[in-house]
């Protein structure tokens, strides 16, 4: 089977691409190398996939051009390409979010009409906004608290209307705070590791007691693969993909300090616009329909990320290469 992976050079997309190749699928990978972080890390992310003869890479901007042939040749489309990040989505960069999260998704779904290709859309816990008490079920009213969350929810709505009107077999997955090896440099754990080893202060916005449902990248990949290859019962459905590892920022800094063998120096700043207090996933629907169960405890996942970070350091400079 051939699968199409958009955002194949990214953090999650590169892991998904390798898993597909390892399972014997041919993979057509798409990435436009947007400038949210360095091209060099994205190229390193693709290094293992490039060793497979069954992998083909095509540099494509999904927001422009005809995508029909790319989609029609693939039985499953894993749509992970996006402009990421809550804090940068305010102000003038919002146009990038509209282009890469909304327009790109609409173009991809338009190309999928009539092909029979299943589209697995990577959404985000950001669509929930400020959560109430307890884990959020998929039936909770979406109330994004950032422009980023608005664009990811827009992508969900596009998937639903193309499914309802044109029969595009779409599945929506809401990822909760994914972490692990290859994490983007702007994401918390990557930035924390970099500053701990450089003995630089870590800026924590707020009091550090904000909690997240952290999900290890390999658990996310397993759920995404299942959504792509399960029976028709998953089509048109939405699933939370959480890690069962809710912890506060302060708790994760304690764990990272232990793993790194160095004390994190913390500097607190006021909470940033768009930051929510708590995220927590009710994964009961994913457990039932996708047989999903997170396998990686937070401590083990953080250890894997620290090990990857150390391996990525340049021997010459001691900085991430």
Task: Say which of 128, 145, 148, 179 is annotated catalytic.
Answer: 148
Using DSSP, how many helices (H) and how many strands (E) does the chain show? 11, 12
Q: Quickly list H helices, the chain.
A: 11-22, 39-45, 68-72, 94-97, 104-112, 147-166, 188-197, 217-229, 249-260, 284-290, 298-311
Integer CA distances (angstroms), 165 to 76, 190, 227, 233, 236, in order: 19, 41, 21, 18, 12
* Residue 316 CB contacts under 8 Å (≥ 6 apart), including other chains: none
- Distance between CA atoms of 226 and 21, rounded to whole angstroms? 15
- Distance between CA atoms of 86 and 146, rounded to whole angstroms? 6
Judged on CB neighbours under 10 Å (0-12, 13-18, 19+), 61 is middle
Q: What SS3 string covers 104-117?
A: HHHHHHHHHCCCCC
Report the Cα 233 to chain-centroid distance in Å: 24
Q: Is 179 considered catalytic here?
A: no
What positions carry a catalytic annotation?
A: 148
């Amino acid at each position: 089977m051939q699968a199409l992976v958009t955002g194949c050079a990214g953090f999650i997309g590169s892991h998904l691409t390798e898993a597909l190749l390892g399972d014997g699928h041919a993979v057509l990978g798409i990435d436009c190398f947007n400038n949210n972080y360095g091209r060099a890390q994205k190229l390193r992310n693709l290094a293992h996939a490039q060793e497979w003869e069954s992998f083909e890479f095509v540099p494509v901007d999904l927001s422009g051009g005809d995508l029909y042939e790319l989609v029609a040749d693939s039985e499953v489309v894993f749509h992970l390409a996006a402009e990421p990040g809550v804090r940068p989505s305010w102000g003038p960069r919002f146009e990038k979010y509209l282009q890469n999260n909304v327009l790109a998704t609409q173009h991809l779904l338009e190309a999928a009409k009539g092909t029979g290709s299943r589209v697995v859309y990577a959404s985000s816990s950001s669509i929930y906004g400020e959560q109430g008490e307890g884990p959020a079920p998929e039936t909770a009213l979406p109330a994004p608290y950032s422009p980023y969350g608005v664009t990811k929810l827009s992508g969900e709505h596009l998937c639903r209307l193309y499914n309802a009107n044109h029969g595009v077999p779409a599945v929506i997955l809401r990822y909760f705070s994914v972490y692990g090896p290859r994490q983007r440099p702007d994401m918390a754990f990557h930035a924390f590791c970099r500053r701990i080893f450089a003995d630089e202060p870590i800026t924590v916005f707020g009091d550090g007691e904000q909690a997240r449902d952290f999900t290890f990248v390999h658990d996310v990949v397993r759920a995404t693969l299942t959504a792509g290859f399960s029976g028709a019962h998953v089509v048109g459905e939405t699933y939370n993909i959480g890690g069962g590892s809710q912890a506060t920022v302060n708790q994760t800094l304690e764990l990272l300090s232990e793993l790194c063998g160095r004390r994190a120096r913390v500097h607190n700043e006021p909470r940033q616009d768009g930051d929510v207090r708590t995220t927590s996933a009710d994964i009961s629907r994913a457990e039932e329909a996708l047989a999903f169960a997170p396998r990686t405890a937070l401590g083990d996942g953080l250890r894997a990320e620290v090990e990857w970070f150390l391996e990525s350091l340049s021997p010459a400079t001691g900085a991430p290469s």
